[in-house]
Structure 1
């Protein structure tokens, strides 16, 4: 097992009817900005609950944060924070709203060009406003980590930053808030959580038995409940398990002491930036190809994945690996998520621009071994057609 430090300060308040806990969690004298995306939080009553729980606190609202939050939109929120002397941020939504809120928290008092927050991967952040979360969509795990992804629309740049100062102080996780979500968002959430686990688990062995078993349990749980969540009427138990699995997938616990990959995510970012694909759609398209092309470097963990997650123990090593990758693809497809670029109208003519964008953004040595260069990334795109 590799050396590691682990610290996660986010308080989780989990269960039905927990939005009312905001009354205790948000300082009574706070000037609060509620940040959200579209109108679903208004229509389903979540925003009304939030307003009621905040009581007489001075509050402001900022809506319209995109599914892939943009720097341009978030800077409008930053300007509002500065103008109204806001001192507490409350994200009401899924990962995109939370990611955007983290950027606003870091940018509010930032001296200089706020894009440096992202250009420095968060290293330039030395202070941030406190923030809390009311989660309405289980997917990214942003409710319990210090990471954020923001897109600069003007340059088609999708960038990541992380800093412990933007850990949410608390996150309210009420599974009933996911009951009205459309199947596409639910499927995306399952794929997102599944691939988060894979990026930390499917690398190479370091005898981290606790982390491996925890990761395998999360993967098996998502396989069990994924089709139920997407295709069957909402029920509390499946939504609760998805909500907790998504948080556990990226709160740092299964990453402790193990090598991590993230090449699938970073190669996928260009598909979102240039073609507007949902983040989870890029993961479903690229992960099977990425695993197939990197089978030699990942052989030991692929065989472990095949046996422990998919119960494949017969046949040659290559046959077991092939079947495990096929089952991964079939799982994503069973959720209604296409695993081919053709399913999104993207053909071979797009690949040159995608590879050029990777080079422009410095994504030239990715993966746990740094072996995903531009030539291999091109092959991943080609295999994903």
Structure 2
């Protein structure tokens, strides 16, 4: 195992109806909140009303910023930052999916530290600005996917340059996550499927990209993958099953919390390859990962075949004893699983033209530079030619 440091500073408040505690919880962290959420006019409207009512009952002043997009735009977040400071807010309540929670992290930390939110993201050779602190964040997830409600990471999209990137800061851990399964049952089928694949992508990234070994991390990850698979089958047959929603919520939270990588932290090549899909075409991130995962697993199987084989055997029923042969079976097994849940997709299914493949590959190696020219970090450097091949295999 490699040396590591890990903590889980977010207080996890779980249970049906616990959204009603938002006001009492907020009272511990400030006097005036910004509720950051999606645009009104959808299924979240009554949930926004409940949070506002809870804050009023607790005597907490607030402003509500609506309009954060899926794949949150830096331009929108900068507007929220301006309002946060102009209104004298001292905490952010993030109500929504990973996009809203990610955007709220940038609101809280950039309002405290100065500048614009895009100043802080990873972008090629540019040195990102560093945060000096953040206002408190309370997260209320309405989607179980990214685990953003309990971690320090966050993605951001620049709608002017068509770039999507990320940053991470210890200052941005939410203080409290209110995980209420009553809210999660409102998710439609399409978003539910995307979110399950998003969780899966997080669970396998470090598992398949680290050269270190940690049986502890492997067993935790495998247990969450098996739990995810079982509950994916259940939730698509009953979207309102609160018990199943709760199980998926825990897979989401701990699948990207760091505990799944203790002693073998790796990198995120599949996420890097997906970034142009959601940046340029505004594709939901989980849907983009659905497209990218199978060809990546197929093309890169010989990189760390013992890791691919281990995952194939323990989570997908492969019995082949030869590591390389077992490794090459993993992609097919994942495709079978995705098809069994009616989740499998290709680039043509989402109308992304093949003539953009070269440009998307250029974006990946430009923004997320590997140790060698025209590469992005992976279990070994992933070349631009291989990224092009992955996209071609997605067609």
TM-score bracket for this pair, using the shorter chain length: over 0.9
Q: Is the 8 A contact 2:217 2:261 kept in 1?
A: yes
Question: SS of the residue aligned with 2:261?
Answer: coil
Instruction: Give me the TM-score of the superposition, normalised by structure 1.
Output: 0.94
Count of residues paired in the alignment: 384
Equivalent position to 1:106, from 104, 109, 118: 109
Instruction: Give me the TM-score of the superposition, normalised by structure 2.
Output: 0.92
1:378 Cα offset (Å): 1.1
Q: Is the 8 A contact 1:34 1:91 kept in 2?
A: yes
Question: SS of the residue aligned with 1:254?
Answer: helix
Which residue matches 1:11? 11
Structure 1: tracts of 5 or more residues without a match: none
- For residues 46 and 112 of structure 1, the distance between their equivalents in structure 2, rounded to whole angstroms, comes to 32
Which residue matches 2:391? 381
Question: SS of the residue aligned with 2:293?
Answer: helix
1:362 Cα offset (Å): 4.2
- Please list, as runs of the form range in 1=range in 2, the aligned pairs for 1:204-243 lying within 5 A after superposition: 204=210, 206-243=212-249
Question: SS of the residue aligned with 1:161?
Answer: strand
Q: Is the 8 A contact 2:34 2:62 kept in 1?
A: yes
Q: Is the 8 A contact 1:131 1:166 kept in 2?
A: yes
Of the structure 1 ranges 197-206 and 360-369, higher mean CA displacement relative to structure 2 is found in 360-369
Q: 4+ residue stretches of structure 1 with deviation over 6 A?
A: none
Which residue matches 1:20? 20
Which residue matches 2:39? 38
1:375 Cα offset (Å): 1.5
1:104 Cα offset (Å): 0.5
1:319 Cα offset (Å): 4.1
- For residues 351 and 341 of structure 1, the distance between their equivalents in structure 2, rounded to whole angstroms, comes to 10
**Judging changes above 3 Å, is the alpha-carbon distance between structure 1 residues 343 and 266 closer, same or farther for their aligned structure 2 residues?**
same
Of the structure 1 ranges 201-210 and 56-65, higher mean CA displacement relative to structure 2 is found in 201-210
Which residue matches 1:343? 349
- For residues 308 and 222 of structure 2, the distance between their equivalents in structure 1, rounded to whole angstroms, comes to 12
1:114 Cα offset (Å): 3.8
- Please list, as runs of the form range in 1=range in 2, the aligned pairs for 1:189-338 lying within 5 A after superposition: 189-204=195-210, 206-314=212-320, 316-338=322-344
Which residue matches 1:358? 364
1:213 Cα offset (Å): 0.4
Question: SS of the residue aligned with 1:313?
Answer: coil
Q: Is the 8 A contact 2:208 2:379 kept in 1?
A: no
Question: SS of the residue aligned with 1:273?
Answer: helix
Which residue matches 2:167? 161
Question: SS of the residue aligned with 1:150?
Answer: strand
- For residues 325 and 362 of structure 1, the distance between their equivalents in structure 2, rounded to whole angstroms, comes to 24
- For residues 110 and 43 of structure 2, the distance between their equivalents in structure 1, rounded to whole angstroms, comes to 25
